[in-house]
Amino acid sequence: MSSNPPASSPQQGSPSGAEIVFNRVTKRYPGQKKPAVDELSLVIPAGEMVMFVGPSGCGKTTSLKMINRLHEPTSGTITIAGEDITSRNEDELRRKIGYVIQGGSLFPHQTVAQNIAVVPKLLKWDRRRIDERVDELLDLVGLDPAIYRSRYPKELSGGQQQRVGVARGLAADPPVILMDEPFGAVDPITRQRLQDELMSIQSELRKTIVCVTHDIDEAIKLGDRILILTEGAHVAQYDTPQNILAAPANSFVEDFIGAGSSLKQLSLVRVDNLPLTEEVHAFPGEDAVEVRRRAWQQRADSVVLLDQRRRPIDWLRLNELPAEGPLPESHDPNLMQVDRRATLNDALDAMLTSAHGAVIVTGQRDQFLGTLAYPTVAEHVHVQASQATQEDDLSQRPETPGVADPTHVERLGANDE
């Protein structure tokens, strides 16, 4: 794929991301009594997606912007892949860090291709390599290059602009990507699709992604780890979503994750973790009598209609099929479907508005995989709940990484003698 990785990134194998370390980082804006960020220490492991959450004004954006030196710390150090970020010039640093913000913030007078090519151009890639990279990225974020390459931002929907913003952030294959409320400005359904896409891109690329959000559900869904901050960027808890939900470190975290944490656990499970129902499918033009016979044989009472590229276009009950003759090219514009990487939460949401009490599941390039039925999800929740009750009796709270265990230090000291 692309070459020219920054010298500071680990080059062998996956993950392709780089570790980021905050060491007692403080940011004091002029004229402010309290620091916006007060002695933040933090290790962001290479190849992980870490979500910064916390109430408005707690210092998330400031912490993020110190990583690419849009803000400079008042004191403390930040390293990327072991190298102090102040040891090189800022422009050079920023070319190695993707930056994605709300709305995509595209240049209005440049085409989609020109917008994506900004950093590769600065890096003086040759024309052909840039063109190839632009098409590759448009494909990756789900936009047909032939259609979108030469469009202007104002000709795109909000969700499409955000996709281009993500493509631009990835363009020069940086080991680190910073995102600030990247999906805050799009509607809920588009947001869900963008989140699913980001997860599937990340499972392939394994960048180090730091993402600011005010949405705890988004953090639970996307994060390998979540950093929950209070005012002054003080760490309330830094842990995996599983551990935070199972054992909130204090009442602030408890309040922040809010009620219904067992429902939130649904966001930790992907649709493809549960058994899908194989449905009878058919294509427009097939003989209705033949299709109905196939459905009867499978004891099915409905048929999923696919287009020539195996993408679902309609979901019909048998009594909605014509009595005989070819199946028409019917198209349900409101057909609910979710990606196999979607969370059970999203799937449940889609199911509740579906006439079938189930939702269509698609995989790569939106191809049909099967359906997920409500009873399958209900069974899963039931099993989880009974396991959780058993575990509660047996175990204590999981340890929080990053918090030193004094007894451990003492034991080490004792061993030295």
List interacting residues with ligand ADP (CB under 6 A). 29, 32, 36, 54, 56-62
Give the range of 2-10, 59-67, 143-151, 156-164 binding Mg ion by CB under 5 A: 59-67
Give the range of 57-65, 84-92, 114-122, 390-398 binding Mg ion by CB under 5 A: 57-65
- The Cα–Cα gap between 224 and 273 comes to 17
User: By C-beta, is 201 or 235 nearer to ligand ADP?
Assistant: 235
Shortest Å distance, C-beta 174 to ligand ADP: 22
Shortest Å distance, C-beta 37 to Mg ion: 12
User: By C-beta, is 16 or 61 nearer to Mg ion?
Assistant: 61
Q: Which does 59 bind (CB under 5 to 8 A by kind): ligand ADP, Mg ion, none?
A: ligand ADP
Shortest Å distance, C-beta 36 to ligand ADP: 3
User: By C-beta, is 32 or 334 nearer to ligand ADP?
Assistant: 32
Give the range of 54-62, 149-157, 195-203, 388-396 binding Mg ion by CB under 5 A: 54-62
Shortest Å distance, C-beta 234 to Mg ion: 16
Task: Please say whether the beta carbons of 340 and 362 come within 8 A.
Answer: yes
Q: Which does 58 bind (CB under 5 to 8 A by kind): Mg ion, ligand ADP, none?
A: ligand ADP
- The Cα–Cα gap between 42 and 342 comes to 29
- The Cα–Cα gap between 174 and 9 comes to 9
63 near Mg ion, rule: CB under 5 A: no
CA 180 from centroid of its chain's CA atoms: 13
Q: Which does 29 bind (CB under 5 to 8 A by kind): Mg ion, ligand ADP, none?
A: ligand ADP
Instruction: Report which secondary-structure segment, H or E, holds 252.
Output: helix 251-257
User: By C-beta, is 62 or 345 nearer to ligand ADP?
Assistant: 62
CA 176 from centroid of its chain's CA atoms: 15
- The Cα–Cα gap between 207 and 104 comes to 19
Q: What number of residues does the chain have?
A: 417
User: By C-beta, is 61 or 115 nearer to Mg ion?
Assistant: 61
User: By C-beta, is 60 or 96 nearer to Mg ion?
Assistant: 60
Task: Please say whether the beta carbons of 219 and 226 come within 8 A.
Answer: yes
| Binding residue (CB under 5 A) for Mg ion from 8, 9, 61, 345 | 61
Shortest Å distance, C-beta 51 to ligand ADP: 13
Q: Which does 364 bind (CB under 5 to 8 A by kind): ligand ADP, Mg ion, none?
A: none
161 near Mg ion, rule: CB under 5 A: no
Shortest Å distance, C-beta 97 to ligand ADP: 18
Q: Which does 57 bind (CB under 5 to 8 A by kind): Mg ion, ligand ADP, none?
A: ligand ADP
Parallel, antiparallel, or unpaired: how do β-strands 302-306 and 281-282 relate?
parallel
Shortest Å distance, C-beta 274 to ligand ADP: 36
Give the range of 5-13, 56-64, 264-272, 302-310 binding Mg ion by CB under 5 A: 56-64
User: By C-beta, is 101 or 143 nearer to ligand ADP?
Assistant: 101
- The Cα–Cα gap between 58 and 63 comes to 10
User: Which residue(s) pair with 368 in the sheet?
Assistant: 362
Token representation of residue 99: 């930056």
User: By C-beta, is 61 or 265 nearer to Mg ion?
Assistant: 61
Shortest Å distance, C-beta 32 to ligand ADP: 6
User: By C-beta, is 151 or 214 nearer to Mg ion?
Assistant: 214
List contacts with Mg ion (CB under 5 A).
Answer: 61
